Amino acid sequence: MILTVTMNPSVDIGYRLETFLLDDVNRVTDVSKTAGGKGLNVARVIHDLGLEVGATGIIGGTLGNFITEKLAEQHLREYFFKINKESRNCIAILHEGKQTEILEKGPHISEEETAAFLEYFQQLLETENISVLTISGSLPKGMTADVYKRLISLANQKDIPVVLDTSGSVLIEVLEDSSLKIAAIKPNYDELSAIENKELSTNPSEWQEILETPRYNQIDWVITSLGAAGAFAKHKHDFYQVSIPSIEVVNPVGSGDATVAGIAVALNQALAPEELLRTAMTTGMLNTMEMTTGTVNKDLFHEYFNQVTIKKL
Ligand code: ATP
């Protein structure tokens, strides 16, 4: 089973309004409430593709219970560590073609809770047969990059490939630890620029030199996703320019998570490099074609898989 990590999941509430009135009462008839978090998007896409997947992280309170109920409804196996604090709500108000978001930070995780979660996670790797681990998103308050480093190191001890999709200082700190082995990272252009602490050239072929620096040595795959322009990827010492067909996009949110799901699925099946890239691009594209974030239509997989073009540089 592929295991996805979401350390700070949420109940995502969507309110659709004709007009959003500030300093007044807004009555909502169109409400959606779903289990949210990047790792949960990854898990849903893997599930849609028909592979076994489990989701872990930390949840608590009545919102935590709501998240587990939603996952059960979707037949997603959950292995969340439960704490005595309330998980968070994230509200998106859709109005007049705009989206106004109100995001809670979520619970503060104490040192004791962190230690208990890590113990629990270690046990999970012992008792379940995990083929690939994905780690997505930011950490809750109270946790430092050390938590992700520990998860990766525990997976390394069991030879479980790790796909890491996080950003900012946490990603930089993890990459600084050369003892950790990472199967893949999937930054987008902004995230790669942030790692390098400079605005990169918009011509990806000029990134080869950067990606050959020691920072990326312990990572098998660096797949920089470029939205409609596909991706620029490094695998060991090989570089690939990946192009995708022009498609009708319904909702692109979560395409990065769907790409991570594709990478995990390809690692799970031990696919060859070009097949891995095709799979990752296809799951990203299929996600953009669905209204619901983190969903793909498996029936369209081969049609789009065959339209991805890869140029080895
Ligand atoms: P997000 O933060 O919304 O999850 P991201 O910035 O991490 O996304 P993107 O580079 O936007 O990731 O998208 C990931 C992949 O999804 C792309 O490499 C591509 O395969 C697919 N994709 C995204 N946007 C489009 C688009 N407009 N047309 C076709 N494919 C797309």
In the chain, where are the structural domains located?
A: 2-312
Q: In one letter, which amino acid is 221?
A: W
Helix H or strand E encompassing 157: helix 145-157
3-class secondary-structure state, position 3: strand
The verdict on the CB of residue 255 being under 6 Å from ligand 1 is yes
Taking residue 23's Cβ as centre, other Cβ atoms within 10 Å add up to 4
Section 230-248 average pLDDT: 95
* C-alpha span between 51 and 251 (Å, rounded): 24
Q: Whose CA is nearest to atom 15 of ligand 1?
A: 284
* CATH number of the domain located at residue range(s) 2-312 in this protein: 3.40.1190.20
Q: Is the ipTM of this complex over 0.85?
A: yes
- What pLDDT band is residue 200 in, cutting at 50, 70 and 90? confident
- Tell me: the pLDDT tens digits for 64-94? 999 999 999 999 999 999 999 999 999 999 9
pLDDT exceeds cutoff 90 at 56: yes
Angle at 120 between CA 115 and CA 124, to 5 degrees: 145
pLDDT exceeds cutoff 80 at 268: yes
Q: What is the pTM of this model?
A: 0.94
The verdict on the CB of residue 245 being under 6 Å from ligand 1 is no
Strand spans (E) along 50-208? 53-60, 77-78, 81-83, 88-95, 98-103, 132-136, 162-165, 182-185
CB distance 308 to 277 below 8 Å: yes
By residue count, the chain amounts to: 313
Q: Whose CA is nearest to atom 17 of ligand 1?
A: 227
Q: Whose CA is nearest to atom 16 of ligand 1?
A: 284
Section 254-261 average pLDDT: 96
CB distance 47 to 124 below 8 Å: no
**Which atom of ligand 1 has the smallest separation from the CA of 190?**
6
Section 251-262 average pLDDT: 94
Q: Which pLDDT belongs to residue 205?
A: 76
- Tell me: the pLDDT tens digits for 176-191? 999 999 999 999 999 9
Considering the chain, what is the average pLDDT of its residues?
Answer: 95
Q: Whose CA is nearest to atom 5 of ligand 1?
A: 256
